[in-house]
Chains A and B, each alone.
Chain A
């Protein structure tokens, strides 16, 4: 049963990689690959130079006649058992319908404004900007997109409330979710409380201990929190199992930008409000677009939320920052796009951290929200097409950035967001004077104060 979620893909990879020449980036035609692994089927894909064009593949609004793209280049797809295919198709149909329904859009806009507290400000970080100025007083201008000000303290709520509303529309009474650090669990539990849906959250027993305050919050929202032996991936598997067993009455609320289609697209769409607001705010503030966008990457939901709006603006640089943990060569990190290989994980083809036998490597980061061995298929695609660049920050660099923002701006960022802030150390010296840099401050860090205080985790 385990294997349905951790699909052994070595053979598949070799087949696919055989058609891709990294040296020249020339993609050859790969004719249909129909391969049975257990009870799942790979989806055949024609990957040509033409289809690598980002413009055609990542759509924002989809007219009802055209289905949403299932894949982004070779990434994405629906690697799931047959039993789930119907539910996923139903979900996709409902999603497309909701996007075009003005009533849903209005209800969602009201919830985002009055419940979540949007729009979030685009804040000019004077202290940080001054800190990175060179001796001539020149340097980039740094802005923070304040997702930390959302209800529940992170960007997670944008997606949780929208999907909970979809669940309600579909007449489903129970919501199932899996959470690592607890942020997604808390957001889901809160949204379900508001919409009177019952909520079950699966969480690793270890994580429950480390994040006990988040567990309390979920229980206060009347959610049931069920412990699972293992890590986040085991918790996700349990959650999917629970969902698969109750397809008529339950809704699987994904918080990550990973998963079988339509999950990545749904999460991206609901998080894209971040980028849309940013465009407008940048126009108001300086009459132009941002030059550089920086976001931390766990699964990639906050990064896609910020980047998506600007993908077609080639002059806007997109930078994702992953967790390098103890260092990229230590083996204890979560830098999927830097060190991972292509494979299938949680129903989607994407980069992931796996060993030579295709087994998932347990990732590490001081920021629990970044401890994810997979990554969004859309981000994998942006990497391969070189539309975005990906770097990483170590635990220590993240903690330093955390402390720095507290001191300079009076904002306590989450350790996750701190990874993005840490990257400023490397990029700012090289940026021309007046470059407009926007960092997605994806969450607040009150939850991390204890950890930073205790220094429970070894920092190199």
Chain B
């Protein structure tokens, strides 16, 4: 375990941004460094923040809370402090508070602005290629039919067809447009495997904005092609030599840069993690996934989906699909994390299954930590799910029982990768393959005709070399 003391106060606070959905981030504050011991929090109602919302009622406060508690329509996601229940918040040094507040008010003021919406929608349509189809996976459906011929109907939301090949770009576009309106002339990001870096570099090239991507020199060696792609797109890729020269160190550098240049620079965060307003903002930029899905489901079968399935690293693609349907109690939400070499092996990234509550990258959420509150280095074959934390809203949905979270091993994901390629002629990202793998366990339990929509969050061309090492092809 690296010494967390080496992390500067400035560095740890922030949010990092990963590859596809998320990736392994460095160690944050250890709970020992914080003034408050937060590693073991009770989940009792007394700590619930819901009591802050102003609702007058004749009935007892506790009863009101119960109602508010169980009705998704009344949940504050987030509340004015940036909290989802007790999760979320803004655990950052003072220097960043202003930037975050400015970002939040800019977001709120522009999000309903017709000019802004028109510009974003235009880019999403003509540049990114939306709307992405809702594709009926006939052979996959056939594969899961039981001997009597019954089984669920499986649909794939084709985020893999987006420009750059993943859902990531929805958010990159939104954030760059917003940052430009704020007058920021420069964008920064950090990246592990390179996917988020490429999406960021792409959008910055499109808008003619200088872009700096921080990447650990170790990662740069392993991902030389992605480094070249980012440079092709005009981004400056800065190698970070300190520490283990991987993602967590790149993050520290990026934060240092942001703190230094906060007036001119925007930090493009790629997932629904990090301090408020990022979890909310990134979710809003990805909401288009769920909004389209509702419309397409209505067109295709005149109803809503019954089950939504998505992989969870940081949680952005899942929140993008789920958000629209959270108030629909009859829609089941299922998130699938990476169980790596097995949930009990110690080598996994199944934060919501095995983690405990703590603060990571500026937000309170579930995270993988040991008894001393030190971050456990996660593992997954898919770089995008290799993240020891998770978005605070997912932690909230888990506690509320609104969403269910499971996990799938590396091997199961590889098998699913092969299965979808063979049956549908679509090569999914290894991240997405985790969601597809979960169908093996889910489908036998579903009644005939259940409509399952799975978020095909990215294409897997980038993973072919990795997969070949493990699969016999």
Contact = CB atoms under 8 A, between A and B. Distances in A.
Interface in A32-83: none
A449 B227 CA distance: 11
Q: How large is the interface on A (under 10, 10 to 19, 20 to 34, 35 or more residues)?
A: 35 or more
Contacts of B233: 406-407, 410, 412
A211 to B, nearest CB: 12
Contact of B205 (A113, A193, A407): A407
B425 A149 contact: no
A194 interface: yes
Contacts of B134: 114
A108 interface: no
A220 B421 contact: yes
Interface string A214-226: 0011011110000
A132 interface: no
B139 A194 contact: yes
A117 interface: yes
Contacts of A449: 225, 228-229, 232
Nearest to B205: A410
Nearest to B127: A123
A124 B233 CA distance: 18
Interface string B161-203: 1110000000000000000000000000000000000000111
A216 B464 contact: yes
B206 interface: yes
B161 A450 contact: no
Is chain B's binding surface mostly helix, strand, loop or mixed? helix
A406 B139 CA distance: 37
B268 interface: no
Contacts of B423: 193-194
Contacts of B208: 127
Contacts of A219: 473
A409 B135 contact: no
Contacts of B467: 220
Contact of B229 (A113, A120, A123, A412): A412
Given A193-B424, A221-B422, A412-B229, A117 B158 contact: yes
B468 interface: yes
Nearest to B133: A114
Interface in A246-304: none
A419 interface: no
Interface in B125-162: 125-127, 129, 132-136, 139, 158, 161-162
A190 B425 contact: yes
B422 A406 contact: no
Interface string A188-213: 01111110100000000000000001
Contact of B464 (A114, A127, A220): A220
A403 B126 CA distance: 21
B368 interface: no
A446 B424 contact: no
B424 A403 contact: no
A411 B136 CA distance: 29
Contact of B232 (A146, A149, A189, A403): A403
A149 B135 contact: no
Given A220-B464, A403-B232, A410-B233, A121 B425 contact: no
Contacts of A213: 461, 464-465
A280 to B, nearest CB: 14
A217 B126 CA distance: 28
A115 interface: yes
A372 B424 CA distance: 30
Interface in A108-152: 113-115, 117, 120-124, 127, 146, 149-151
B204 interface: yes
A194 B161 contact: no
Looking at B158, B232, B425, B468, which has the most chain A CB atoms within 10 Å of its CB? B425
Contacts of A194: 139, 423-426
B72 interface: no
A25 interface: no
A408 interface: yes
B418 interface: yes
Given A121-B126, A192-B425, A410 B201 contact: yes
B139 A196 contact: yes
Interface string B454-473: 00000001001101100001
B342 interface: no
Looking at B125, B132, B204, B206, which has the most chain A CB atoms within 10 Å of its CB? B206
Contact of A446 (B162, B203, B205, B229): B229
B137 to A, nearest CB: 9
Interface string A153-190: 00000000000000000000000000000000000011
A151 B424 CA distance: 12
A116 B432 CA distance: 19
Nearest to B138: A194
A453 interface: yes
8 contacts: A121-B129, A124-B126, A127-B208, A146-B129, A189-B425, A220-B421, A221-B427, A411-B163
Given A221-B427, A410-B205, A453-B228, 7 more contacts: A117-B158, A121-B129, A127-B208, A193-B424, A409-B206, A412-B232, A446-B229
Interface of A: 113-115, 117, 120-124, 127, 146, 149-151, 189-194, 196, 213, 216-217, 219-222, 403, 406-412, 446, 449-450, 452-453
